[in-house]
């Protein structure tokens, strides 16, 4: 069985279909894990969501910030953004089934020794903590009162982790780290305003994966979310958001089998060009 990790699709279903054809994907033989942001900004969010739900036994989707935004808009928690392309889902006859399927997706996974998240990991967290904290939020997303919970989820504060956090403050930090993080300080204060490349870190901050003493440093991590980062493949890190919706590429990584020590440099990387669906800054 081949295991493929796929970066941010963002509703670009044609690109996803071409990528699956390019890798010769077989649902009976292979498995996909999409690293979040499967919907929004691209032209075919509904088709993307239907395709992935139909592959439920062979495909898993991590929740990204755009996927959570869809749930929040659907529950009346947030207004649609002018660049959103979610109306096809919100008006679909199978809307309820699709949204229910989406909110049962995980925020983090461990596969073949890899920690998989959409955005980032705070320096204080071990991989085991990441999975445990993600499970706390997943439980809330799957509860009957998910709409009321979503009302309390958004905001930039607290901007750092503390083991003593409880309730909405605790869950907000978890969600922000796993779905929005790019830069943080050496002691884990999150910065959300900057969306530039790693070389343009704001003063006092650095890419989350370069924080000295990060407790997850011994575990390889694959993530998406950061299209301006560019391709990043080093032994302990694999970044797979290569800006499909912005006219970049849609990327997949086939993880090798049977290696004692996972190493991103041994992954097979497949990229296909994508037409531009959104312009930066809109």
DSSP codes joined into one string, 244-272: TTBTSEEEEEEEPSS-SS--GGGSEEEEE
The per-residue pLDDT for range 149-199, each reduced to its tens digit, is 999 999 999 999 999 999 999 999 999 999 999 999 999 999 999 999 999
Asked whether residue 281 is assigned to any structural domain, the reply reads no
Percent share of the chain, pLDDT over 90: 90
Q: Mean per-residue pLDDT for 6-15?
A: 98
Of residues 230 and 32, which shows the higher confidence score?
32
What whole-number distance in Å separates Cα of residue 122 and Cα of residue 269?
26
Checking if the pLDDT of 282 tops 50, the result is: no
- Confirm whether 90 is domain-assigned: yes
Question: Is 278 among the domain residues?
Answer: no
Sequence-separated (6 or more) residues with CB below 8 Å from residue 242: 7, 227, 230, 231, 248, 249, 250, 251, 271
Contacts of 260 (CB under 8 A, 6+ apart): none
- Residue pair 46/73 in contact by the 8 Å Cβ criterion: no
**Domain for residue 282, yes or no?**
no
Question: Is residue 109 one of the residues assigned to a domain?
Answer: yes
Q: Answer yes or no: is 25 within a domain.
A: yes
CATH number, residue 212:
3.60.21.10
Average pLDDT of the residues in 212-229? 96
Q: Is the pLDDT of residue 231 over 90?
A: no
Which pLDDT does position 212 carry in this prediction? 96
- Cα 66 to chain centroid distance, Å, stands at 9
pLDDT tens profile 70-96: 999 999 999 999 999 999 999 999 999
235-277 per-position pLDDT tens digit: 899 999 999 999 999 999 999 876 556 777 788 999 999 999 9
When divided into structural domains, the chain yields a total of 1
Q: Mean pLDDT across the stretch 200-213?
A: 96
Rounded to an integer, the average pLDDT of 202-217 is 97
Omega before 158 within 30 of 0, i.e. cis: yes
Mean pLDDT of 4-15: 98
Return the minimum-mean-pLDDT range out of 5-19, 42-56, 230-244.
230-244
Domain that holds residue 163: 2-273
Q: Is residue 209 part of a domain?
A: yes
Which positions ≥6 away from 79 have C-beta within 8 Å? 73
Name the token pair of 251: 């990327």
What's the start-to-end Cα distance of the chain, in Å? 41
Predicted local distance difference test score (pLDDT) of residue 260: 54
The pLDDT of residue 248: 96
Look at residues 106, 82, 67 and name the one whose alpha carbon lies nearest to residue 225: 67
Would 279 be classed as within a structural domain?
A: no
Q: Residue 117 pLDDT more than 50?
A: yes
Q: What is the pLDDT of residue 266?
A: 82
Calculate the average pLDDT of the chain.
95
| Residue 208 pLDDT exceeds 70 | yes
The structure's pTM equals 0.96
């Amino acid at each position: 069985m081949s295991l493929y990790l796929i970066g941010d699709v963002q509703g670009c279903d044609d690109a996803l279909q071409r990528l699956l054809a390019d890798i010769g994907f077989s649902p009976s033989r292979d498995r996909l894990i999409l690293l979040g942001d499967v919907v929004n900004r691209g032209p075919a969010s509904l088709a993307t969501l239907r395709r992935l739900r139909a592959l439920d036994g062979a495909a898993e989707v991590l929740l990204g910030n755009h996927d959570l935004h869809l749930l929040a808009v659907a529950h009346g928690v947030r207004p649609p953004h002018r660049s959103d392309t979610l109306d096809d889902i919100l008006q679909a006859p199978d809307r309820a089934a699709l949204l229910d399927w989406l909110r049962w997706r995980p925020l983090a996974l461990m596969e073949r020794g890899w920690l998989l998240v959409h955005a980032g990991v705070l320096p204080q967290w071990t991989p085991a903590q990441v999975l445990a904290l993600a499970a706390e939020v997943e439980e809330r997303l799957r509860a009957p009162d998910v709409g009321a919970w979503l009302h309390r989820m958004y905001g930039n504060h607290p901007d750092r982790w503390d083991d003593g956090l409880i309730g909405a403050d605790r869950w907000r930090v978890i969600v922000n780290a796993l779905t929005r993080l790019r830069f943080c300080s050496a002691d884990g204060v999150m910065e959300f305003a900057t969306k530039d490349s790693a070389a343009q870190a704001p003063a006092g901050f650095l890419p989350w994966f370069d924080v000295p003493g990060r407790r997850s440093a011994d575990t390889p991590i694959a993530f998406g979310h950061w299209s301006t980062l560019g391709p990043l493949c080093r032994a302990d890190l694999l970044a797979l958001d290569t800006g499909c919706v912005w006219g970049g590429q849609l990327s997949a990584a086939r993880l090798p089998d049977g290696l004692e020590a996972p190493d991103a440099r041994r992954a097979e990387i497949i990229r296909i060009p994508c037409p531009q669906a959104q312009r930066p800054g809109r």
